[in-house]
């Protein structure tokens, strides 16, 4: 044992080397952590925290429970499905008075309106008359507006009286709750989200495919041309990339509109008549064209970075061994570029799914994507809970696609440059 102890390596000051090394490494790790700490805090504060807050908002909304204490208390004290009695209406009358005093009728009405369309005005107009209510409250309130007698309204209020709800997720997939609280499909005229999710995924896939078809030959040309030509071509690829997104989108409006450059040229050359100008913008076509152009560099650059290092001798070797040019491409060149295709495809698809400025500007009514509805609910209707639910579903769909992609192609195969 004594020999072994004597054999332990020590530093000059007699401490065991192992411990000393560990301490030095820990110090280095601390310093490294200290260096990335600003970034970590930045990401946490500006990214993780707000996203977490948004996701929380998709299941939490207390605008009813915090502003209607009496009715909420009645709901808490009774079983689901209880017919509203005089006591319930008295609580309602008290709360309507509160709504009037605190000017919160709009907030509560808006919350109930999310689940039962057409009920916002019921709250605002009834609250305006809350001063005149006298017992018996049931008759008095129903006298103000007979809609207060609607069992569906009471069911909706009951579910809104709990700050936690999954109703926003139901709404985000065109479902709603019926009088007994069961899940059912929403009115036909209000079903838009499922359709928009589908449209977003289909259009994004189409745009990814189009950027691939257009970008592959360009990337190949870039990778194989002599340097002085390829540099020029590279600048042509990058120039639009450096130009503002809005400028590029607006340029497409100039080109594609009915009185735009393309239509005017076609009319001038007699290909189409003046009455039959093509509708290429303010519809889905506009969205597809503009987004394909804007996302093209995201396909070209990963492809280029993968194609560049492929030695030309591989294809030449295949040819010299008797392969046709198609066979050489298919069996030798193409498989080598798959990581680039995978990277470009994933990049373009994920960007396309979340795009909203371009569709908003050139998409008209039929070219809108789900992000436009999320933006609408964030900025205009201010139904942030529904926006959060839609965004969470979109995030989930992308994660699922990413997982499938990882299983099929393998994320290790991805090469961005």
Partner 1 sequence: MKKTLILSTAMAGFAFAASAQQVTVMSWGGAYGESQVEAYNKPFAEMKGVTVNMVDADNPATPIKAMVEANNVSVDVADVELSDAVRLCDEGLLEVIDHDALPAAPDGTPAADDFIEGALMSECAVANIVWSTIFAYDSSKFSGDAPSTIADLFDLEAFPGKRGLRKGAKANLEMALMADGVPAEEVYDMLETDEGVERAFAKLATIKDSVVWWEAGAQPPQLLADGEVSMTTAYNGRVFNAAISEGKPFEIVWDGQVMDFDLFVVPKGAPNKDLAMEYIAFATDTQRLADQAKWISYGPARLSSGPLVGLYKDGATEMGPHMPTAEENLANALVNNFEFWADNGTELEERFNAWLASN
Any idea what DSSP says for residue 175? E
**Dist CA 50 CA 41 (whole Å):** 13
Give the residue among 162, 183, 176 at the shortest CA–CA distance from 72.
Answer: 162
What is the closest distance, in whole angstroms, from the C-beta atom of residue 376 to partner 1 in the complex?
A: 6
> 137-176: which residues touch partner 1 (CB under 8 A)?
none
Options 5, 8, 259, 269; binder of partner 1; rule CB under 8 A = 259
**Dist CA 124 CA 129 (whole Å):** 9
> 18-77: which residues touch partner 1 (CB under 8 A)?
45-46, 49-50, 53-54, 61-63, 66
Nearer to partner 1, 66 or 224 (CB): 66
Q: Are 149 and 142 in contact (CB under 8 A)?
A: yes
Report the alpha-carbon angle 248-296-309, nearest 5: 140
Give the residue among 347, 365, 362, 233 at the shortest CA–CA distance from 288.
Answer: 362
184 forms part of the interface with partner 1 (CB under 8 A):
no
285 forms part of the interface with partner 1 (CB under 8 A):
no
Give the residue among 86, 89, 73, 97 at the shortest CA–CA distance from 158.
Answer: 73
Nearer to partner 1, 100 or 220 (CB): 100
Options 110, 200, 292, 358; binder of partner 1; rule CB under 8 A = 110
What is the closest distance, in whole angstroms, from the C-beta atom of residue 199 to partner 1 in the complex?
A: 9
**Dist CA 121 CA 218 (whole Å):** 58
In sequence order, what are the beta bridge partners of 175?
A: 185
Nearer to partner 1, 230 or 250 (CB): 250
What is the closest distance, in whole angstroms, from the C-beta atom of residue 204 to partner 1 in the complex?
A: 17
118 forms part of the interface with partner 1 (CB under 8 A):
yes
Question: What does the block give as tokens for 376?
Answer: 């609408």
Question: What does the block give as tokens for 128?
Answer: 């305006």
**Dist CA 244 CA 253 (whole Å):** 15
257 forms part of the interface with partner 1 (CB under 8 A):
yes
Number of residues that bind partner 1 (CB under 8 A): 46
What is the closest distance, in whole angstroms, from the C-beta atom of residue 195 to partner 1 in the complex?
A: 7
Q: Quick one: which H or E segment has residue 161?
A: none
Options 69, 240, 354, 364; binder of partner 1; rule CB under 8 A = 364
**Dist CA 285 CA 363 (whole Å):** 8
What is the closest distance, in whole angstroms, from the C-beta atom of residue 355 to partner 1 in the complex?
A: 16
216 forms part of the interface with partner 1 (CB under 8 A):
no
Q: Which residues here bind partner 1, judged by CB under 8 A?
A: 45-46, 49-50, 53-54, 61-63, 66, 102-107, 110, 113, 117-118, 120-121, 124-125, 128, 189-192, 195-196, 257-259, 275, 282, 364-366, 368, 373, 376, 379-382
């Amino acid at each position: 044992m004594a020999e072994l102890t004597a054999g332990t390596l020590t530093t000059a000051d007699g401490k065991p080397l192992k411990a000393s090394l560990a301490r030095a490494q820990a110090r280095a790790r601390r310093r490294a952590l200290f260096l990335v700490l600003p970034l970590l805090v930045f990401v946490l504060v500006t990214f993780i925290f707000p996203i977490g807050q948004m996701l929380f908002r998709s299941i939490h909304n207390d605008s009813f429970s915090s502003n209607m204490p009496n009715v909420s208390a009645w709901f808490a004290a009774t079983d689901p499905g209880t017919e509203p009695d005089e006591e319930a209406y008295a609580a309602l009358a008290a709360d309507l008075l509160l709504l009037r005093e605190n000017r919160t009728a709009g907030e509560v009405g808006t919350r109930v309106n999310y689940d039962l369309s057409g009920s916002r005005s019921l709250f605002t107009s009834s609250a305006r008359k809350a001063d005149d209510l006298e017992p018996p409250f049931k008759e008095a309130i129903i006298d103000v507006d007979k809609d207060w007698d609607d069992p569906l309204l009471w069911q909706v209020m009951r579910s809104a009286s709990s700050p936690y709800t999954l109703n926003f997720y139901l709404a985000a997939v065109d479902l709603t709750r019926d009088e007994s609280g069961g899940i059912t499909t929403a009115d036909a005229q209000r079903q838009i989200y499922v359709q928009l999710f589908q449209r977003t995924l289909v259009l994004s896939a189409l745009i990814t495919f189009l950027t691939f078809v257009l970008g592959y030959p360009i990337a190949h040309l870039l990778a194989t041309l002599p340097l002085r030509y390829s540099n020029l071509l590279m600048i042509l690829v990058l120039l639009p990339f450096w130009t503002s997104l809005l400028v590029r989108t607006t340029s497409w409006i100039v080109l594609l509109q009915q009185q735009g450059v393309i239509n005017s040229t076609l009319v001038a050359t007699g290909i189409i008549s003046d009455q039959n100008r093509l509708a290429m913008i303010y519809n889905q076509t506009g969205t597809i064209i503009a987004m394909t152009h804007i996302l093209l560099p995201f396909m070209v650059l990963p492809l280029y970075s993968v194609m560049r290092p492929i030695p030309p001798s591989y294809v030449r070797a295949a040819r010299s061994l008797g392969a046709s040019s198609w066979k050489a491409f298919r069996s030798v060149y193409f498989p080598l570029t798959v990581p680039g295709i995978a990277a470009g495809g994933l990049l373009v698809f994920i960007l396309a799914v979340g795009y909203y400025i371009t569709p908003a500007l050139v998409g008209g009514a039929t070219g809108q994507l789900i992000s436009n509805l999320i933006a609408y609910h964030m900025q205009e209707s201010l139904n942030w809970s529904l926006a959060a639910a839609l965004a969470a579903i979109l995030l989930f769909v992308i994660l699922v696609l990413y997982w499938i992609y990882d299983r099929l192609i393998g994320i290790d195969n991805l090469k961005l440059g």
